[in-house]
Structure 1
Amino acid sequence: MYDCAILGGGIAGLSLASFLDRRSIVIEAQDRVGGLSRSYRLNGIDYDIGPHVIFSKNQEVLDLHSTMIETNRIKRSNQIVFKGRYVKYPFENDLSALDPADRDYCLQEFLHNPYERFSGTNMLHFFLGTFGEGITRLYLQPYNEKIWKFDPSCMDTQMVERIPKPPRDDVIASANGTVTEGYQHQLYYHYPAKGGFQTLVDAYKARAEAAGQDVRTSSPVRRLTRLADGWTIETGTAEFQARQLISSIPIHELFKLLTPPAEVAQALQRLLYNSIYIVVIQCRKDKIGDHFALYVPDSDVLFHRVSKLNHLGEGYSLPDGGSTLMAEVTFRPNSYLSTLRECEVIERTIADLEKVGFIDRVDVVDTAIRRERYAYVIYDLDHRRNVDKILAYLEGIGIKSVGRFAEFEYLNTDAVVERTLSLARSLNCAH
């Protein structure tokens, strides 16, 4: 009998186990831990499922993550590729990089914004009210339509309400040629010196095991049975009992093991999310320069973002001076993009990298592709109501939830760990 059984060995499950002072077991279905924070390797270069980085406004979490493992401290160098021009991220802080007509359109609509007095009731309203029509129509709307594969007028503001309104003087200065820095807390970040983001996950696993916790891999859960004083968890090869059950696995996977009432099942069916293709292209050289992430709002380009892994440090550079690029392509399950063969996704990615001027096809030397089912939570207009109903049901039957797809919120690693710290402290105090 364990005090706590934690479903899922990603960053949420492992960090929680490492913070608990109660006898716990982490049960992971895959043959290694990691979840969305897993890393893979191509020709000696480690890459993640998307460009994870280590940063946080929470100093406790930042200090923990930057000392658990060896990291490189890196200054952000992200660019938006717009009409063949490189515009420093965030867009509103580098308006002078636009052609004069687009620059003046963005500035005038920001300074004289008829939407400013309306409170944002959805994502599109928020963008118009905060940034004005120019910045919204040229960049924010097309980019968000591309990444979410969902109309921003049908998404709520949970994803964007944390974005601050840029100071008027900064936007004027950026249009006049003075490049300013936005999102200061993200200006510098850390990244593992080697091994990819998996290094942080593995460090949490080691931390949990050093605290006496049990971590089981290759253990997909087949059945959950509620007891008077806890739960029985059956895998293909073993059976465990625990007084407290905590889920960090995707909520859709958890409910395959439960029989909820009709209204909860209906709420679950209405939760929307995106999957992702991660396409890795290694080439002899590229035309990107010394930048990490490049955002591409063009609707006729398959990917929405490309990351140059060389920027992360010597441990991510090919020995012959070549480049490793990682492109991200989101798609809804059962959509047209979900039906593409992996070779088609790779081919279209290479063609579009060449079209936007990032590479020459003749320089490509190797490729890899990963398909991840659960990547991005979609905050549609009914999201909060449906999620609250589901989480209340789980809490009512004695299951606590923590993690991006367990809570069905778009949580970065630092936010996940903030929540596991809080949950662990609560459970430790109750013990």
Structure 2
Amino acid sequence: MTFEYAILGGGVAGLSLSSFLDGKAVVLERQDTVGGLSRSYSMNGVDYDIGPHIIFSKNKEVLDLHSTMVETNKIRRSNQIVFKGRYVKYPFENDLAALEPTDRDYCLQEFLNNPYENYHGSNMLQFFLSVFGEGITHLYLQPYNEKIWKFDPSCMDTQMVERIPKPPREDVIASAQGVATEGYTHQLYYHYPAKGGFQTLVNEYKDRAEAKGQDVRTSVNVRSLEKQPNGWKITTDTDEVYAKQLINCIPIHELFKLLSPPAEIKSTLDRLLYNSIYIVMVQVKKDTIGEHFALYVPDKDVVFHRLSKLNYLGESYCLPDGGSTLMAEVTFRPNSYLATLSEADIVDQVIDGLVKVGFIEREDILDTQVKVERYAYVIYDLDHRKNVDVLLSYLEEQGIRSAGRFAEFEYLNTDGVVERTLKLARSLNASTPAD
């Protein structure tokens, strides 16, 4: 059987795209469960993601779609930055009054009298200095971003941060005076599946695709891709699949293992940088976090950059006998020092950090669990755009379309991925009559 489309990867990109396409598609997923970076796991009855992910978007069509596909809880953001033992409401510049007076005045004065304000930042660090001033940049933005990216912000471009708005002067002044203000209001409320974790949204996309007659296959190991005059032959461990068009939704590094590109393309691929991640789950009898969801920790002596309390997501994410389920995130570059540590070492370091910051007592720990994702964060180094454009252009020339975070090598949230797959599907549907 020849399909109109063969889609590599059964994550949100591949599944949503197949559900939007009119032509017959086959989705080939290597794992035994669909979801990719958006799949969920379970720990003592509590479901959790690699993230966690949330449902929000500036795109009303995508937001309406995702918030109605599955039953959700609508939640008001309560995220905090843990800075020198104090809780500072996220985003940092909207709660300067929570800082000690010296730090508060430093941030405010350097924001109001910013010598970098009229410079166009050509890298991430310059952007922060231009928009926020020296105080906010050096106290929080620079150390936190160094920690999450494991890369110097002066060597990263502005693609990740150029969408961050400059806060109004009156808001920053008010925040230093203790007047409550809100930043990033499009994220102030978000949705999350009422039960089952983000996997419920993934599964719904799979069901929708199959209801349209699409063929979603798991546990498929693709061994080779062969371009033919009328399409593609995809050889797996068990059979051969033929398709007129090939769409890649797996990490671009994995795709190129199936191709034979010229040397200059291989060297360009080698220059793409990304981070992997440890997700360390810690269940405890009690904690000191309070009614907050996410805590950002710029302290370099604490291994994790963010901690999430899943209880905040709703009753289904609470332990039946009380207590808390905490998720710590630790990014690392492949082949770096952190990459050489055992999972037990990472758990120990996370627990040490939780105790150091005062979030938990060691004797209150009930259980721990670790998940590792190789492809987690795209690093926007200074050559990112140039290198990615070269690779995607090469794939287009071979007749391969791309969709998804690591297929396009863009830092796309779930809503951004679906926005891209909707656009791609509409283009393909318009050019290819349905059977």
Shorter-chain TM-score above 0.5: yes
CA distance in 2, matches of 1:10, 1:393: 23
Q: Which residue of 2 aligns with 1:107?
A: 108
Q: Which residue of 1 aligns with 2:40?
A: 39
The structural deviation recorded for 1:392 is 0.1
Correspondence list, 1:18-167, <5 A: 18-167=19-168
Cα deviation, 1:376-416, whole Å, max 9, x if unaligned, reads 00000000000000000000000000000000000000000
CA distance in 2, matches of 1:69, 1:47: 16
SS of aligned partner of 1:72: strand
Cα deviation, 1:87-126, whole Å, max 9, x if unaligned, reads 0000000000000000000000000000011101000000
Q: Which residue of 2 aligns with 1:210?
A: 211
Q: Which residue of 1 aligns with 2:426?
A: 425
SS of aligned partner of 1:257: coil
Q: Which residue of 1 aligns with 2:324?
A: 323
The TM-score, its normalising length taken from structure 1, stands at 1.00
CA distance in 2, matches of 1:216, 1:242: 15
CA distance in 1, matches of 2:35, 2:238: 21
CA distance in 1, matches of 2:169, 2:64: 33
- The aligned amino acid for 1:233 is I
CA distance in 2, matches of 1:246, 1:305: 34
Cα deviation, 1:291-320, whole Å, max 9, x if unaligned, reads 000000000100000000000000000111
The TM-score, its normalising length taken from structure 2, stands at 0.99
CA distance in 1, matches of 2:260, 2:215: 28
Q: Which residue of 2 aligns with 1:348?
A: 349
Q: Which residue of 2 aligns with 1:406?
A: 407
**Which runs of 5 or more residues in structure 2 are unaligned?**
none
SS of aligned partner of 2:264: helix
Q: Which residue of 2 aligns with 1:380?
A: 381
CA distance in 2, matches of 1:403, 1:121: 26
Q: Which residue of 1 aligns with 2:169?
A: 168
Q: Give RMSD over aligned pairs.
A: 0.4
The structural deviation recorded for 1:264 is 1.1
The structural deviation recorded for 1:5 is 0.3
The structural deviation recorded for 1:268 is 0.2
CA distance in 2, matches of 1:262, 1:163: 38
Q: Does 1:269 align with 2:287?
A: no
Cα deviation, 1:230-286, whole Å, max 9, x if unaligned, reads 100111012110000000000000000011112111110000000000000000011
CA distance in 2, matches of 1:64, 1:361: 43
The structural deviation recorded for 1:430 is 0.3
Q: Does 1:370 align with 2:376?
A: no
SS of aligned partner of 1:258: coil
The structural deviation recorded for 1:321 is 1.3
The structural deviation recorded for 1:223 is 0.6
Q: Which residue of 1 aligns with 2:238?
A: 237
Q: Which residue of 2 aligns with 1:360?
A: 361
CA distance in 1, matches of 2:320, 2:3: 48
The structural deviation recorded for 1:338 is 0.2
Correspondence list, 1:180-191, <5 A: 180-191=181-192
CA distance in 2, matches of 1:239, 1:290: 53
CA distance in 1, matches of 2:129, 2:215: 50
Q: Aligned residues: percent identity?
A: 74
